[in-house]
Structure 1
Amino acid sequence: MRKVGILFEFVRVLILLFFLTAILYYPLRTLYETIGIETENYFYILTFAILLIVYVIYTNKLQFTGFYTKGAKKMPPKITWSILSISFLLISVPIIINYIG
């Protein structure tokens, strides 16, 4: 039964990863298009920043509601804020590059 729980949790993580990434990417793409920035040029930067945010959300909240919660621990607040700061910095990089360059 434990292996089935781990498999279900893996599938759940993949589904959450896909949907949360799509949900977070759409507003950023529309914001950048409104400003006049081409999102194709910065696709990898935005995707990496969004994946960092999704990782923090999963690690601090969603892992405690899944099929396999044994050994689940929250990240320390300093690490959480560091990762979120890096992701917001990565999100702002295309805007900075567009207005400087």
Structure 2
Amino acid sequence: MRILLELFRILLIFGIVGAFCSGILTNVYQNFGIDYNQYGYLGSVAILILLFIVYRNKLQFSGWYKGKKEKLPKRVTQVLFVFSIVLLMIPPLLQFTS
């Protein structure tokens, strides 16, 4: 039962927080004149990666699941973070270069 509750919690975190952050990112991109319909999926993937990092390093320790809980290795966290920042920066670069 705890596993189902934790899965439901993960879906809520990723769904609600991801949608909220995507909405903010959409407004930021639109204010800069970036076509969100064409490049928006890159920002959404970056948000999901960032949420994954936060969940694995912080939020998993406060949930219902009592199984093996390990933080991501520091190097993996750094690589994923840089990759998500690059994904966030690609739409403005593509928009302004084309």
TM-score category (smaller protein): over 0.9
How many residue pairs get aligned? The number is 98
Displacement of 1:69 in angstroms is 3.1
Task: Tell me what 2:78 maps to.
Answer: 81
Task: Tell me what 2:28 maps to.
Answer: 31
TM-score (norm 2): 0.95
**Maintained 8 Å contact 1:17/1:54:** yes
Task: Tell me what 2:65 maps to.
Answer: 68
Task: Tell me what 1:58 maps to.
Answer: 55
Q: 1:63-92: CA deviations, max 9, x gaps?
A: 000000320100111110110100010010
Task: Tell me what 1:17 maps to.
Answer: 14
Which of 27, 44, 52 matches 2:41? 44
Letter in 2 for 1:21: G
4+ runs deviating over 6 angstroms:
none
In the aligned structure 2, how far is the partner of 1:12 from the partner of 1:22? 15
Displacement of 1:23 in angstroms is 2.1
In the aligned structure 1, how far is the partner of 2:41 from the partner of 2:96? 19
For structure 2, the 5+ residue unaligned runs are: none
Measured on the aligned residues, the alpha-carbon RMSD in Å equals 0.9
Pick which of 80-89 and 22-31 moved more: 22-31
TM-score (norm 1): 0.92
